[in-house]
Amino acid sequence: MTFELNVFVMKFIADRMLGKLAKELRMLGYDTIYYRGEDAHQMIQWARQEGRVILTRNTKLIPKRPEDRIIRVMEDNPFLQLKELIQKGHISLNVENLFSICLLCNVLIDEIPREEAEGRVPDFIFYHQKAFYRCPQCGRIYWQGSHQDHMKRKMDELFG
């Protein structure tokens, strides 16, 4: 089974001050690039080329063209940053997209036969989990674990 992202979902590029937020957005299924560079012009160019919305805490970053979409995030805490994006209507919850993107590579993960995970995950995990997923780019293996339960509780708190 391959996950399919909702085509109407916004794509983001988060600046170097928002790495944890980028990871949280990926957990929610949002295509989010984490830009570690310092060159704001290069980040804006990348956003234009890929139709991405820039997420930044930099109050000096101003749109140069009408197509530049920049969202200033005011909160420091990643949980509160997510809440801010929800309250302002920039993101919403689509349960079908949860946990569908590699947290490292920002690519869709694919379900793999259980046997392919054997020896690549701890034995306890292998014997207690039924489904496994792999990032086609980095090869990282994912499964439904306590981290997903924790994130689901967080989503319940954020989205009600």
pLDDT tens-digit map of 1-58: 333 444 346 899 999 999 999 999 999 999 999 999 999 999 999 999 999 999 999 9
- Beta sheet of 32-34, edge-to-edge order: 32-34, 12-14, 53-56, 70-72
CB burial of residue 41 (10 Å; 0-12, 13-18, 19+): exposed
Better-scored residue on pLDDT, 83 or 151: 83
H-type alpha helices, the chain? 19-27, 40-50, 78-87, 114-117, 123-128, 146-159
| Crossing angle (nearest 10°) for helices 146-159 and 78-87 | 40
Torsion, Cα 142 143 149 155, to 10 degrees, reads: 50
pTM given for the model: 0.86
